[in-house]
């Protein structure tokens, strides 16, 4: 009991004003879209939002200018994307090494209350973890979070495919657009 009181006192002395634990679920109206380009064309691959069925128990430590998050880890099935073209979908699954790494993990670490709101996240793709800061928009009325994560697939030791003996080359830069709706 003394240890618990000490921890709570330590949290408040470090500037945290509240500790809150909430169960959160991402609803099916959410969207995650990977956008990319080649030297010939562009493509979009949309995630099957029906696969987002898990409920997450998240603990928030709120401070004056930020919120630390614990338990906010989303696992996306790496083979859950559809690019509306069978060969592009197959190439994406090959790039992501879906047989060896069935999940892409996104861990929300902290929200910084600035303008714009910034999410600090760890993204793990194909066993490689990288940290990012993403500007996001939060709409409390709809429990909606929108943002764009720009990344280079080479940061995750992934290689873009080359087609037609190298005549078609996919750009290493991709954009992940997310539009998530939450239910508490």
User: Which pLDDT score, from 0 to 100, does residue 43 have?
Assistant: 92
Question: Does residue 76 lie in a domain region?
Answer: yes
User: Which pLDDT score, from 0 to 100, does residue 54 have?
Assistant: 76
Question: Does residue 9 lie in a domain region?
Answer: no
Question: Does residue 51 lie in a domain region?
Answer: yes
Question: Does residue 94 lie in a domain region?
Answer: yes
DSSP string, the chain: -HHHHHHHHHHHHTTEEEEEEEEEEE-TT-EEEEEEEBSS-EEEEEE-GGG---EEEEEEEEESSEEEEES-EEEEETT-EE-SSHHHHHHHHHHHTTTT--EEEEEEEEEE-SSSEEEEEEEEETTEEEEEEEEEEEETTTTEEEEEEEEEGGGGT----EETTTTEEB-SEEEEEEEEEEE-
Q: Which residue has the tokens 């992501």?
A: 96
Question: Does residue 7 lie in a domain region?
Answer: no
CA dist 168 and 80 (Å) reads 25
Question: Does residue 4 lie in a domain region?
Answer: no
- 126-155: pLDDT as tens digits: 999 999 999 999 888 988 999 999 999 999
Domain harbouring 41, CATH code: 2.40.128.110
Higher pLDDT, 22 or 105: 105
Question: Does residue 92 lie in a domain region?
Answer: yes
User: Which pLDDT score, from 0 to 100, does residue 157 have?
Assistant: 94
User: Which pLDDT score, from 0 to 100, does residue 165 have?
Assistant: 58
Higher pLDDT, 6 or 125: 125
Question: Does residue 42 lie in a domain region?
Answer: yes
The domain total for the chain is: 1
User: Which pLDDT score, from 0 to 100, does residue 9 have?
Assistant: 41
**pTM exceeding the 0.85 threshold for the entire prediction:** no
The mean of the pLDDT values for the chain is: 84
Domain residue limits at 51: 17-183
- 2-45: pLDDT as tens digits: 443 434 443 444 444 567 888 888 899 999 999 999 888 899 99
User: Which pLDDT score, from 0 to 100, does residue 44 have?
Assistant: 96
- 153-182: pLDDT as tens digits: 999 999 887 666 556 778 899 999 999 998
């Amino acid at each position: 009991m003394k240890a618990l009181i000490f921890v709570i006192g330590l949290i408040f002395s470090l500037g945290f004003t509240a500790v809150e634990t909430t169960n959160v679920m991402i609803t099916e109206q959410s969207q995650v879209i990977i956008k990319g380009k080649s030297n010939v064309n562009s493509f979009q691959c949309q995630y099957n939002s029906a696969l987002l069925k898990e409920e997450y128990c998240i603990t928030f430590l709120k401070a004056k200018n930020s919120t630390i998050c614990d338990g906010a880890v989303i696992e996306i099935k790496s083979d859950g994307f559809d690019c509306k073209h069978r060969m592009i979908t197959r190439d994406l699954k090959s790039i992501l090494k879906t047989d060896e790494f069935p999940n892409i993990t996104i861990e929300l670490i902290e929200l910084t209350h600035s303008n714009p709101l910034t999410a600090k996240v760890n993204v793990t793709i194909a066993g490689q973890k990288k940290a990012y800061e993403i500007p996001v928009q939060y709409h409390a009325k709809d429990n909606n979070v929108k943002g764009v994560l720009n990344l280079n697939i080479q940061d995750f030791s992934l290689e873009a495919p080359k087609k037609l003996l190298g005549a078609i080359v996919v750009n290493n830069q991709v954009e992940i657009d997310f539009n998530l709706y939450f239910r508490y």
